[in-house]
């Protein structure tokens, strides 16, 4: 309806909704795709600017424009528009916000190689080749309509590369997506064994994960590299995951802290994911590539930036929720679809209280360092600084436990996914990271 850029149209298969902000046209069924090709041609752009040289495009203006139906029978046009639609849909499906997302491009056999850096270079080439191919197809589409309307003296078919709306390789964005996918695998939303969503229902469990993976694996033809540990029968029970692959977090709680205080620490789990996907031999090289792409240390990104990126990707409707103390001394992620009434109890007893115990033990160790005559002045200064930080954290966490987490754990809240994030998120109050407009 309103655009400061060029007019554009999108082919919408059955089942899609529209409203006045993005009106829809309904040609005869055999003309739907040819009309889409016409509406996205530079011939249409030229004519619509004559009819309506404003920022607003209403259905009445669109309906006035002439359409030569005979062009719709051109097999060359139909092949071109099918190729364009297929390529753009495949491009959209490369990202996890697509309904039809299956897997991450950099983990596909046709792109994946020994290291993540070399694999990303393949992805970069793929994107550039795809853009070049789409430029060629869009120019071909323009040429067909220019010839049909006899506008060879008025228009040229060229399309600037910047107007091709396919994904472009970007190391920072692509490594953030890689980390997001890895976290999805940590929670069982995705799996390295099978494509598409795995756990996406309310209250889903690890047992559900192994069952679903087994069912999906059994639907593919044998010989595709899916090997069950202990046989398919054991796999289906949820006790034996597929061999040599990455396993989901058992309790749906992944601590995101300033150091590796827990075995299932998010950085430790990500390192494990890298080992599984690209091998242990290239782990150091792959971590270096990721950190160079992100422009910062991996832990700093996960502690400070991941959730910001997640909120932006999911438009402030996160599927992973961050439990966060007021001054961020304690942080832990959970997967919304695996939440149950005992999740906060587990967080309290197995992580928050355990973390406080670890901090107290560390504080005692620092006391001993400071009391030792053999400790250098430099080490004492560092120990004093760390000790002060721990004291502040312990005070903060004790207050947060008493005032927020313990009462919340005692409530054993139930949520209904159908209510959506905007209704459910505020129920947890200051237990969760603040989201403007939602918290």
**CA–CA separation, 397 and 403 (whole Å):** 10
Identify the DSSP state of 135.
H
Q: Measuring CA to CA, which residue among 110, 90, 112, 85 is closest to residue 101?
A: 90
Q: Alpha-carbon distance 192 to 216, whole Å? A: 12
Of 250, 204, 211, nearest to 228 (Cα)? 211
Local confidence pLDDT in tens for the 439 residues of the chain: 887 778 888 999 888 888 888 888 898 989 999 999 999 999 999 998 888 887 788 888 888 888 998 998 899 999 999 999 999 999 999 999 999 999 999 999 999 999 999 999 999 999 999 999 999 999 999 999 999 999 999 999 999 999 999 999 999 999 999 999 999 999 999 999 999 999 999 999 999 999 999 898 887 644 444 443 333 333 333 334 444 489 999 999 999 999 999 999 999 999 999 999 999 999 999 999 999 999 999 999 999 999 999 999 999 999 999 999 999 999 999 999 999 999 999 999 999 999 999 999 999 999 999 999 899 999 999 999 999 999 999 999 999 999 999 999 999 999 999 999 999 999 999 999 999 989 8
- The confidence score (pLDDT) of residue 407 equals 97
β-bridge partners, 22: 19
Q: Cβ contacts of residue 291 below 8 Å, gap of 6+?
A: 297, 298, 301
| pLDDT for the residue 55 | 79
Closest CA to 213 of 192, 197, 196, 194: 194
Q: What is the pLDDT, as a whole number, of residue 5?
A: 79
Q: What is residue 225's predicted lDDT score, i.e. its pLDDT?
A: 45
């Amino acid at each position: 309806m309103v655009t400061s850029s060029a007019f554009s149209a999108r082919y919408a298969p059955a089942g899609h909704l529209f409203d006045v902000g993005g009106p829809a046209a309904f040609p005869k069924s055999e003309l739907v795709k040819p009309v889409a090709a016409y509406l996205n041609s530079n011939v249409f752009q030229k004519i619509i600017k004559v009819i309506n040289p404003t920022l607003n495009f209403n259905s009445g203006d669109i309906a006035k424009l002439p359409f030569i139906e005979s062009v719709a029978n051109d097999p060359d046009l139909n092949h071109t528009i099918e190729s364009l639609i297929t390529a753009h849909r495949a491009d959209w499906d490369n990202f996890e916000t697509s309904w039809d997302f299956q897997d991450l491009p950099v983990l596909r056999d046709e792109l994946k190689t020994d290291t993540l850096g070399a694999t990303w270079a393949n992805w970069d080439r793929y994107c550039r080749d795809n853009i070049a191919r789409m430029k060629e197809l869009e120019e071909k589409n323009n040429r067909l309509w220019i010839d049909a309307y006899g506008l060879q003296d008025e228009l040229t078919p060229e399309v600037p590369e910047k107007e091709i709306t396919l994904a472009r390789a970007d190391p920072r964005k692509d490594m953030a997506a890689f980390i997001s996918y890895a976290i999805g695998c940590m929670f069982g939303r995705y799996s390295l064994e099978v494509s598409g969503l795995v756990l996406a229902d309310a209250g889903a469990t690890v047992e559900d994960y192994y069952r679903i993976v087994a069912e999906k694996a059994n639907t593919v033809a044998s010989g595709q590299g899916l090997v069950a540990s202990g046989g398919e029968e054991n796999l289906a029970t949820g006790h034996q995951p597929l061999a040599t692959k990455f396993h989901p977090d058992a309790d749906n709680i992944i601590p995101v802290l300033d150091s590796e205080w827990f075995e299932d620490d998010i950085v430790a789990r990500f390192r494990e994911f890298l080992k599984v996907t690209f091998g242990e031999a290239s782990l150091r090289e792959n971590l270096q590539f990721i950190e160079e792409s992100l422009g910062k240390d991996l832990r700093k990104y996960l502690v400070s930036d991941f959730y910001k990126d997640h909120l932006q990707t999911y438009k402030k409707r996160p599927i992973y929720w961050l439990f966060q103390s007021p001054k961020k001394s304690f942080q832990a992620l959970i997967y919304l679809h695996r939440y149950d009434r005992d999740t906060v109890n587990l967080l309290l007893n197995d992580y928050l209280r355990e973390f406080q115990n670890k901090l107290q033990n560390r504080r005692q160790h620092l006391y001993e360092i400071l009391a030792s005559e053999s400790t250098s002045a430099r080490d004492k200064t560092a120990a004093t600084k760390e000790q002060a930080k721990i004291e502040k954290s312990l005070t903060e966490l004790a207050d947060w436990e008493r005032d927020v987490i313990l009462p919340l754990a005692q409530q054993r809240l139930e949520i209904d996914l159908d209510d959506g994030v905007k209704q459910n998120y505020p129920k947890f109050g200051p237990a969760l990271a603040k989201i403007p407009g939602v918290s």
